[in-house]
Amino acid sequence: MRKLLIIPMILATLIATGCKQKAATTETPAPTDSTAVEEATVPDDSIHTEAYISQRVKHIYDLIYEGYKKNAIHANRQISTEQFTSAEYNNLQREATRLTPKDNMMDVPGANYDHWVMGQDFDKKLSMEVLSVSDIHAQTATAKIRVENFSPTEVTLPLVLENGDWLIDSFITTSEIEGKKVVFDEKKELKEYVEKLRK
């Protein structure tokens, strides 16, 4: 009787092992629309690769630039850009807006330009290229991109893993003023601005 039971157990084990191996080798397609952030079921080993993160950043910018080019006004009228930035970054933006008097809105860090296009206006040939992905950890990574909008601007994007996919946590640029390099970290500036207004 025991011998008869052993055979089904061995078959069940082989089938389960085969299914696991098949599942592990199945490739997950890249997000295809703005709802993919929450719907994509990408295995952890795939979502932490340079290739996936690079594709994710490109996907975000493609969607936003499509919004710009379709109505030639602003991407926020086409889609909500908040779905592509971290919860902490979004909360800082809202708090800075809430604490700032209406007549002084240009005092909010980053208010005098659009961080998606790195300017106040955009060229019809607007484009973005991912230059590199580095510092990949369980919940954070860094991407460096080049935005082509009239002239090229290199931007560093700290990324965080939230709700199953990578979101942008800040926009960091480096410029030269009077011969000195000046780094502008939008999230850091927002945090300091909010803390100052709360005092």
160 or 63: which leads in pLDDT = 160
Confidence of residue 131 (pLDDT cuts 50, 70, 90): very high
Q: Is the pLDDT of residue 21 over 50?
A: no
What does the domain layout of the chain look like in residue ranges?
33-198
CB 173 within 8 A of CB 160: no
Q: Is the pLDDT of residue 57 over 70?
A: yes
127 or 75: which leads in pLDDT = 127
Radius of gyration of the chain (CA): 22
CATH topology of domain 33-198: Nuclear Transport Factor 2; Chain: A, (3.10.450)
Q: What's the mean pLDDT in 4-15?
A: 39
What count of other Cβ atoms lies within 10 Å of the Cβ of residue 40?
A: 17
Q: What's the mean pLDDT in 152-166?
A: 96
Q: How far is CA 42 from the centre of its chain?
A: 16
Convert 2-18 to b/e letters by CB count within 10 Å (16 or more is b): eeeeeeeeeeeeeeeee
